[in-house]
């Protein structure tokens, strides 16, 4: 596995799923791991993250990570050393079409060996938000584990 210098978690509007993934990653990743940020595919104007997300993150002891407003994904956010993780296959396809590359672009599920998308629960009951949080928690921690395992495998190879 390639060593990355940054991970970009991407969802449609950057107000719900990707900020949760960013918060989980920032709290649980180690200092030497790639920087984690989140962005949206369609951000027509900056919006605050969903209030239910704020509550969910705070209830679970996760920082909002300085993420106060949604941010549009831009070309400058992606380099050859950036890992891009989308929440759905359709977001991945859109990114590949828009940036004319498949390099380092995966769905979060695909990257960790799960074959399902994480769907935005926007407008649903709080229980659906909690289910999304739990699934993101599981998958983002698998990303961290995968990066750590590869780091130690690379260290062993260099000896």
% of the chain surpassing 90 pLDDT:
61
Average pLDDT over residues 86-106: 93
Average pLDDT, the chain: 89
pLDDT at 65 over 60: no
Higher pLDDT, 157 or 30: 30
* Residue 101 contacts residue 70 (beta carbons within 8 Å): no
Q: Residue 94 is encoded by which pair of tokens?
A: 């859109």
Q: Domain locations in the chain?
A: 6-148
Please give the Cα distance from 66 to 44 (Å, whole number): 20
- What band does 112 get if pLDDT is binned at 50, 70 and 90? very high
Give CA–CA dist 122/20, Å, rounded: 13
Quickly name the fold that domain 6-148 has: Rossmann fold (3.40.50)
Report the half-sphere exposure of 34 (CA within 13 A, side-chain side). 25
Higher pLDDT, 116 or 153: 116
**For residue 129, is it left (φ>0), alpha (ψ between -120 and 50) or beta?**
alpha
Q: What is the pLDDT of residue 67?
A: 63
Assigned token pair, 136: 């993101």
What backbone phi and psi angles, to 5 degrees, belong to 39? -145, 165
| Dist CA 41 CA 73 (whole Å) | 6
Name the H helices within the chain.
17-28, 51-59, 89-99, 108-111, 126-158
């Amino acid at each position: 596995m390639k060593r990355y210098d940054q991970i970009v978690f991407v969802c449609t509007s950057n107000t719900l799923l990707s900020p949760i993934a960013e918060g989980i990653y920032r709290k649980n990743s180690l200092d030497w791991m790639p920087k984690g940020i989140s962005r949206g595919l369609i951000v027509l104007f900056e919006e605050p993250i969903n209030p239910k997300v704020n509550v969910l993150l705070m209830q679970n002891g996760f920082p909002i990570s300085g993420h106060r407003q949604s941010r549009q994904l831009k070309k400058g956010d992606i380099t050859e050393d950036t890992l891009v993780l989308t929440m759905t296959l359709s977001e991945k396809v859109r990114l590949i079409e828009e940036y004319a590359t498949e390099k380092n672009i995966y769905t979060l599920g695909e990257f960790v060996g799960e074959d399902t998308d994480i769907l935005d629960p926007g407008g649903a009951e709080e229980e659906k938000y909690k289910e999304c949080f739990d699934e993101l928690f599981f998958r983002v921690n698998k990303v961290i584990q995968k990066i750590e395992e590869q780091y130690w495998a690379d260290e062993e190879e260099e000896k």
